[in-house]
A and B are shown apart, each in its own frame.
Chain A
């Protein structure tokens, strides 16, 4: 959970880092990336129009005016997943490869054709999971499918981690999830109310914000760009939660 949030934040952070970036909404029929990025009013064409020859690629790309080199390629809202096939998605990615340093494809949920079409043109994959039984289980299935499609590397973002629950022993730790899924970690994003505020405004956190989630997404973008950024230990952050409250109760400040 958090694919669209992650896509938008990474896209903004990479563009702010000077890369040429396109975020592709591959969720045909349920498009959302445009509103999350705050670009919904500027959408004219979508990538199916490009594939069907209704318009040219440059007409469909929505340029983000807030930062250089960031574009959105919208999905069609009034079509279904069957409107495209894998060959067309590969063709689309080939077109985009010529123009961009990074192409981020926001996949729909599920393991059906929509997911496969999003994945087929990709070189690498990022799987987003929350530290909960059902989400990790789904992630395992998705990783299996991506492996069988030959995607490499496949890296994991753990989203909505709640350090206080982890400390309490009521949430899977990062190491537990990695143990189980056995793939490389790309980032850890804490649960953060700013995510909802950002989606209300249509302004991805990585534009300005210094909230914990924003910082986490910025670190992820740096890692994608090839930098070696250490992972902060969220579960050892003792500034909030039950024990912090307890410490306060006993009058100890740290």
Chain B
């Protein structure tokens, strides 16, 4: 129908697609703004996992976000001293946080760096 055609024609040129794209990009950047506490906690967890497999120089770890137009990558540079022959046993989850807030957060985690 002419009306449907017109409608499609008009919505294609609309500014809302631009709005959505801009929002998606700006939010990737906003959401990658990780707090120092979060970064610290991430660093500790990472060291915990990696040292099961290798000795690393923890004083020289570099962590950063690489931002590009449409994506954000988390880049960690971890100097290796020696690879272990067999992995150390996994730590029992004593340090893990309680599940309280997890449920509500999981949904939004996708897309966050």
Contact = CB atoms under 8 A, between A and B. Distances in A.
Nearest to A252: B3
A180 B20 contact: yes
Contact of A147 (B15, B27, B101): B101
B14 A168 contact: yes
Chief secondary structure at chain B's binding surface: helix
Q: How large is the interface on B (under 10, 10 to 19, 20 to 34, 35 or more residues)?
A: 20 to 34
Interface in B87-113: 100-101, 103-105, 107-108, 110-111
B108 A183 contact: yes
A247 interface: yes
B22 interface: yes
Interface stretch (B5-13, B41-49, B50-58, B67-75): B5-13
A136 B19 CA distance: 10
A123 interface: no
Interface of A: 132-133, 136-137, 140-141, 143-144, 147, 150, 152-154, 166-173, 176, 180, 182-183, 242-243, 246-247
Interface of B: 3, 6-7, 10-17, 19-20, 22-24, 26-27, 30-31, 100-101, 103-105, 107-108, 110-111
